[in-house]
Amino acid sequence: MDDLVVAGIDIRSGSPRSKKRPTYSVSIVRGEDILFEDEEVTLDDVFSLMRRYGVKILATDNIYELAEDIKGLRRVMEKIPPGSKLVQVTGSPKGIRPLSSIAKEAGLPSPSHRDPLGTARIVARLAQRGIGIEIVAMYPETRVLITKNRSIRQGGSGSDRWRRSIEASILSEANRIATELDAANLDYDLYVERASGGLKRAEFIVYAGIDDVKRVVKESSEWTPLRVVVRQSWRSKIKFPSSRLSPLPRSRPIIVGIDPGMSVGLAVIDLDANLLALKTMRRASRSEIVEEILNHGYPVIIATDVNPPPKSVVRIASMFDSKLMVAKYDMKADEKKRIVADYEELKGIRVESSHERDSLAAALKVYYRVKNLVSKARLKAKEEGLSSESDRIITKVLKGTPISVAIEEILAEREEEREVRELTYAELKRELRRLNKYVRSLNERIDELKRELERKDMLLMEKEREISELRRKIENLEDERSRELELDRRISVRDARIKELEQELERERWRGELLRSQMRQLASSSRQVEGVKLIVLPSLSKEKIDELGDRASEGVLLALDATGASTGVLRRLKEVGVRAVLYRGNPPPKEFIERARTEGIIVASLNGFRISWSGLDPILPSEEALRLLSTVSTESKAEKIDGRSELDVLNIIRDYRMTLLKAVSGGGESAEEVESG
């Protein structure tokens, strides 16, 4: 320990919780020599001094003088040079003791609040003697998962090729991400699930914040065949290896066997080969493994049967400053089964999985190698009357210290402790009076702070009531404002609709007026056209024919849609006296046309006939009417129906002549004259 460089610090001014940057007094010692001291430096200066002088332990009496909270303390741990430790000499938060009491027990001067540099020097000397608790940092972790996108499926005969293609793509993407993480100098562990085409699944545990990882790894979209997800997996935290004041390390020494892989096997045994823990941790991160180990003690030896050891196991061993023991050759399955089977029979336990078996076999293999050394060290400790210190002696021995040297170091430490206990009664009495006075001042300060706290609580309650009232008023105002906005919106919508309807009404009025004007113009300019009036029907149905009444026999029917005509309609046409039907577009049914021919009703298509207009009325000109008659006269020459000649063509011509007579009524001829003519 004479060559161990230790830095002790004590806060001088400011606080990590204040806006003012805190400053510290620092003392760097090696053996009995003081290498460097300064009354006022920043924390960044301390880190620079640690690198310059090769400081292995940074000691303080209160770790929260370095940072405001756990998050800030983690940043401090990240800035400490590799291989260095942070130690709180007053113990862990669960078992903290006054610095003055510890200094007295160690035979050092009592620290003074007025002398931060002296306090820093005392803290450094205490840590130099191995007093205090080491703080172990659990760093933040981010998981990067690469799998097949289950929302995209491929079926059919090519499904096997599709699966192998996806597995190859996962392998390629995992290699690419690993290259990117290496280039960004981000530490990670990789777990993979292999498949015939490549990888079925890959998961990176990156020991960095999610923001740092997302600068390197990009998540995939939901429409790609691969699914790349980045998520924060674990918050950073600080853990103390032991909850009581002890020299470093003073918690129970243990041997840990690790079987790395997708499922990590973890076996923890003590120095008597008693099983403390045996479990399988699926895709476990280093921090999860470290926390599980610390729940059972402080590892002296980390063992694994994988040679060369994975970097995750190497780094876990370096975090604990433990000795890493690796099998010189890969243990065969039969050897592992034999070692574990003998241990199961001896301890009455049962190993559940191959991962647990491999980790336990590695731990037991190491234990059997050091068993004689442990027994010898324990026997020597008993001979020297140091049975209570056997764990500390064995820990030193397993880390490479000879048994005799380890015993001498423990004896020297106990001698120092004995000298501390030989303080005179007068010194203890003076110290007690000083402490009583200090306690009284603290109690007075506590009472004063309690009164101040009560006053602040009353003020806080009053302010909270005011805030609640103001919030209620704000909510009412917001509700009222929302109602006003909604009312304004509805009024705006209504006004816009009214304006739109008014404009539409004005357009319709203008259009109606225009149509009325056109109708008046047509009516006034209409000329008398000679021919047969066409009565327009939208369809040939009984209802439409009945609506015509007596007008049905005044002219020729024009059906805009005759496809639905039936024999019942034909009977109705005959009853009302219709003699001819024109249709537009598709013809009526063939049965209707044949039946109409036998009934003497002309049925013909409007195509090929010219229509004239008399005002708003459609007229079939006389020559077109004659042509209509001529088209059907040849078909019905031989047919006689009810004693009448073919389709009453003469009657139709007579009607036409009477129409001409009316047109020339000014000529003085009577209807009889025209008829006789």
Residues 225-234 pLDDT 10s: 888 988 876 5
Give whole-number Cα distances, 613 to 523, 527, 553, 608, 621, in Å. Answer: 11, 9, 19, 17, 9
Residues 418-470 pLDDT 10s: 655 555 555 667 778 888 888 888 898 899 999 999 999 999 999 999 999 99
99 contact partners, CB below 8 Å, separation of at least 6: 61, 89, 90, 111, 119, 122, 123
Task: Please provide the CATH number assigned to the domain covering 531-676.
Answer: 3.40.1390
CA–chain centroid gap for 115, Å, is 53
β-partners of residue 556 are: 534
Tokens of 36: 């460097």
Contact 446, 127 (CB under 8 A): no
pTM: 0.45
Across 343-363, average pLDDT: 88
- Say yes or no to pLDDT of 1 above 60: no
Contact 533, 554 (CB under 8 A): yes
Determine whether domain 255-285+296-420 maps to CATH 3.40.50.
no
Closest CA to 299 of 247, 355, 258: 258
Give whole-number Cα distances, 354 to 10, 340, 357, 455, 477, in Å. Answer: 51, 11, 5, 64, 68
Q: What is the rounded distance in angstroms from the CA atom of residue 399 to the CA atom of residue 325?
A: 11
Residues 637-665 pLDDT 10s: 444 444 343 444 445 555 655 554 554 44
Closest CA to 646 of 590, 581, 579, 546: 579
Tokens of 338: 């034999």
pLDDT of residue 404: 84
Task: Please provide the CATH number assigned to the domain covering 141-235.
Answer: 3.30.70
Confidence of residue 26 (pLDDT cuts 50, 70, 90): very high
For 613, which DSSP code?
A: E
Q: What is the rounded distance in angstroms from the CA atom of residue 338 to the CA atom of residue 86?
A: 43
Of 289-293, 439-443, 527-531, 553-557, the range with the lowest mean pLDDT is 527-531
Scanning the structure block, which residue is given the tokens 């506590």?
446
Provide the residue count of the chain: 677
- Say yes or no to pLDDT of 561 above 80: yes
Closest CA to 6 of 109, 163, 127: 127
Across 40-55, average pLDDT: 92
Determine whether domain 5-137 maps to CATH 3.30.70.
no
Confidence of residue 568 (pLDDT cuts 50, 70, 90): confident
Residues 374-404 pLDDT 10s: 888 888 888 888 777 788 888 888 887 888 8
